[in-house]
Structure 1
């Protein structure tokens, strides 16, 4: 049970580990029932493997496997996806807390497939990319909530650089998450009765920040990530948004939808172009030709808003 010595929330995620039956090491053909983190951790590892497979097989953003959408997720994106799927545990007071963290992992809350009414929006920015943040920088995007019938959850994760040996506090870089929408302005990790609340102060300790509503007003929302203090390097990050959501101004050149313009987008577009995917007809003339390639390269060079 947390917190850490410098006040960070631990644990961060929860998985069943009580009376779990698994293979036994005592023989080549038997099982045993055990309790503890040795039984809980494998289910989280398996969930992480499924998250990685979801992205590397191109299930994002359509919900169906599409090789042209495949990309390798960062560790921060995998962690953000896992945490975004969590649910509050019954019988444990307070949420989030230092007993359950952000709750029990339930992947279907976040991973979207082609028969779902929910949607998924991600951003995956690595430390060595041009989009990584330095102190004073910010990232901003808009998205639409289309109805109030689905929960809205937003998760920001970054990998904090290691602190000095025996440092207390040991946290190094600090990013802040803000959401502005029809019902007000909300800061990451400011909760009341398990739901995001207005007011409060930004969390300067934890490298996971979350905003959650079981239901919220339809309309346009603005999400902002501010680099309050980046003391080491440039800070990458991952964002996961789940709910009945859609991007207000999607960037066409971000062909695989990972929030970063890179060579993988070029490969994804050329793959769709080669396979005669109608989506590659960027000039909408009913033909796939060199002008579509030029249109894509122009948009790629111009960058995303």
Structure 2
């Protein structure tokens, strides 16, 4: 099923004749269900779960969505709805574009984090960002990022870089994570610049350039997402027809695609101060688990093997399951991916992991390997004192909100605010954090300050507010309150507000003096306790371990239900490397299937099948 930009995100395979001049796309023989929504200005959208259910009832197994709202990596009611639907329909994979909200707001040559669109902030969907295409000249938008988006990407090295000349780089506009609750996103990236896409006969705009009557050039995560959806359709066909898994779960599909994705760190700008992608191993909040790679996902090159396990075991709190395999030698890295479709989270915790599973990879020498880049923080609380979801007004003053943490010590991790830039102009805007040690408990010492050079208008431009999220570093509140201020210079720009200030927490600056304001600023603060003393991840529902040179011998993959209040919780597991699924341990839970490259063995492979009680 395709939902999104109807002009460019999918075509009808049943009408294709495949002439020699055509471009066939990723899954040209897939069956397509097309859903038209919002094609008239006043049309009211049905609930998202109804849209998903309509497609599933019509026979779709995948649902791809090239649309979303720019809410600064927030977990919305729609993201919750996506999670709920996948929780109830475990074999239905939903894809969402990460969004095109990436901007270098402080003009330091690095695209800022916290720009994901919702509902791509969902825990259970597959969120797709955009890497650069490989069309360096003469195609579509033949320009540098600073030419196409001079305000968003004003600083080197991005400003002078061509939009599609380095496939190991990330498209500058591609939205970055994390989600406010700390989850790694996007899940992966795929080519999204100067992509040839189908041209609708009803489309009037030329996109990034017209190719002919049937195709045009385009760019965006609206391109990378259908590329991934077509690839996912092929992977699903492979799992059903070759691996013989009748109905692969969304978690298995996700685990397989992420396990096969190719790490493209450090990106296209080297390893210096403007490094684009954090260091290996994955995941990270720029490329996710890497760039989409179909061959690496379904065809293991000799002597590699891929093992699959799909939702045959469900865990409650305190329960564990062991999976056993053998690393033949260290000639290939060992890559393990665990994924599960989690119970839907709440907006106050910004998603928040509900059913928490732990992964341990135990080597032959009993060394325990834990999830790479584990996020060890307790649950986030989003502090907000507005009463309504929609802004009612705006203030040209410098505005601040006084926050009271729910507990101490409190780590201030992020700030969310609404801002208006109706003329789309450059102007310095500072995000400042103060303690409450000023006169009469007003803002005192500066704890943090970051100056932004440019805040873009909201979606649609003009008078629409932008929702901006910025990460905060090094601010821990041990007692009392703290203030977050948005300090601006341009008289035509404004901080979004809500009428009224019942809690007396909103302030405006009158000259050098702070005073209680008439309206409440849309400024929110994400706080959580200090990092937990643990080796386990407490935030993500996709975990991975990569061992570049694994120790040969027998390994145990232990999955434990650490805290499963909405159990039992099923899961999917994918393992890749020079491995086999032999085991001599009584009661072992085996991987259900594996794929081998027989060329290594002169076209013949002998496989010994072992029951769970260890008897051949």
**TM-score in terms of structure 2 length:** 0.37
Name the structure with the higher helix share.
Answer: 1
For residue 213 of structure 1, the aligned residue among 547, 556, 569 is: 547
Instruction: Report what 2:297 is aligned to.
Output: 110
Point out where structure 2 has 5 or more consecutive residues left out of the alignment.
1-175, 203-211, 268-275, 375-532, 594-605
CA distance in 2, matches of 1:188, 1:148: 20
CA distance in structure 2 between the partners assigned to 1:170 and 1:47 by the alignment: 29
Whole-Å separation in 1 of the counterparts to 2:310 and 2:245: 13
Counterpart-to-counterpart distance in 2, 1:242 and 1:168? 33
For the Cα contact (< 8 Å) 2:331–2:549, is it kept in 1? yes
Residue-pair matches, total: 246
1:99 matched to 2:286: yes
Indicate conservation of the 8 Å contact 2:344/2:351, yes or no.
Answer: no
Backbone CA RMSD of aligned residues:
3.2
Q: Secondary structure at the match of 1:56?
A: helix
Q: Give a deviation string over 1:185-239, Cα, whole Å, max 9, x none.
A: 1101248xxxxxxx97211100000011233221111110111111113100000
Match of 2:180 in 1: 5
Structure 2 CA distance for aligned equivalents of residues 107 and 153 of structure 1: 16
Runs (4+) of structure 1 exceeding 3 A deviation are 26-29, 164-169
Q: Does 1:171 find its partner at 2:353? A: yes
CA deviations over 1:243-276 (Å, ceiling 9, x no partner): 111012289xx9x9637xxxxxxxxxxxxxxxxx
**3-state SS in 2 of match to 1:121:** strand
The structure-2 alpha-carbon separation of the partners of 1:47 and 1:303, relative to structure 1 and needing over 3 Å to count, comes to farther
Q: Partner residue of 1:189?
A: 372
Instruction: Give the Cα–Cα distance (whole angstroms) in 2 for the partners of residues 169 and 23 of structure 1.
Output: 36
What does 1:122-271 correspond to in 2, within 5 Å? Answer: 122-125=308-311, 131-168=313-350, 170-182=352-364, 184-190=367-373, 201-249=535-583, 258=592
Contact 1:190-1:200 at 8 Å conserved across structures: no
CA–CA distance in structure 2, aligned partners of residues 96 and 233 of structure 1:
26
**Pair 1:16-2:199 in alignment:** no
The 8 Å contact of residues 147 and 244 in structure 1, kept in 2 or not, is answered as: yes
Q: Which has the higher contact order (CA 8 A, sep 6+)?
A: 1
Question: Does residue 121 of structure 1 match 2:307?
Answer: yes
- What is the alpha-carbon distance in structure 1 between the residues aligned to residue 591 and residue 556 of structure 2? 18
Partners of 1:137 and 1:221 lie apart in 2 by: 19
Compared CA separation, residues 85 and 200, structure 1 to 2 (3 A): farther
Where 2:545 maps in the other structure, the secondary structure is strand
2-structure distance, mates of 1:159, 1:258 = 19
Change (3 A) 1:163 1:119: same
Partners of 1:102 and 1:30 lie apart in 2 by: 34
What residue ranges of structure 1 are gaps of 5+ in the alignment? 61-68, 192-198, 260-278, 283-295
How much has 1:303 moved relative to structure 2? 9.8
Aligned partners of 2:277 and 2:287 also within 8 Å = no
Residues 1:36 and 2:220 are matched in the alignment: yes
CA contact (8 A) 1:110 1:242 kept: no
The DSSP-based 3-state class of the residue aligned with 2:191 is coil
Q: C-alpha displacement at 1:70, in angstroms?
A: 4.7
Whole-angstrom CA distance in 1 between matches of 2:584 and 2:224: 38
CA contact (8 A) 1:190 1:201 kept: no
Do structure 1's residue 25 and structure 2's residue 212 form an aligned pair?
no
How far apart, in 1, do the equivalents of 2:373 and 2:240 lie? 33
Equivalents in 2 of 1:216, 1:160: separation in Å? 30
Structure 1 residue 71, shift from structure 2 partner: 2.2
| TM-score, scaled to structure 1 | 0.72
Q: Distance in 2 between matches of 1:31 and 1:168?
A: 40
Contact 2:583–2:614 (Cα < 8 Å) also in 1: no
